[in-house]
């Protein structure tokens, strides 16, 4: 799983952007893929350019957004999944079976 950017990395991105360092060189210096840096600049940039503090605050807010687990959002789906798991189905096989039966936790998914 990809490691999130730290505040130190964001501060270094900001400093390198102000110094005119290319995205490719910034990525190489941080040991990151250039697409990570481009995405970070897009998310953390505003009218005044990239700001590490604002980008860090926004990243923390995105990471903390509440997420309702699928099985909690749909008790019927949760019961069906639990039934299969108690019958010793693997989680992967149970999910595949529920999909095959057309059971979805959210409409259209």
pLDDT of residue 75: 87
Q: How do the domains of the chain map onto residue ranges?
A: 7-64, 70-100
- Which tokens go with 41? 């600049």
The CATH architecture annotation of domain 7-64 reads Orthogonal Bundle (1.10)
72: which residues sit within 8 A by CB, 6+ positions away?
78
User: C-alpha 50: how far from its chain's center?
Assistant: 20
pTM, whole model, 2 decimals?
0.61
For 11-51, the pLDDT digits (tens) are: 999 999 999 999 999 999 999 999 999 999 998 887 789 99
Q: Enter the DSSP assignment of 90.
A: -
Residue 78's pLDDT band, with cuts at 50, 70 and 90, is confident
């Amino acid at each position: 799983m990809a490691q999130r950017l730290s505040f130190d990395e964001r501060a270094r991105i900001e400093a390198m952007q102000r110094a005119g360092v290319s995205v490719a060189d910034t990525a190489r210096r941080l040991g990151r893929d250039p697409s990570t840096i481009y995405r970070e600049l897009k998310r953390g940039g505003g009218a005044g350019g990239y700001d590490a503090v604002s980008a860090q605050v926004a990243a923390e807010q995105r990471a903390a957004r509440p997420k309702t687990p699928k099985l909690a959002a749909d008790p019927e789906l949760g019961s069906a999944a639990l039934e299969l798991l108690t019958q010793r189905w693997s989680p992967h096989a149970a999910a595949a079976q529920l999909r095959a039966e057309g059971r979805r936790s959210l409409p259209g998914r």
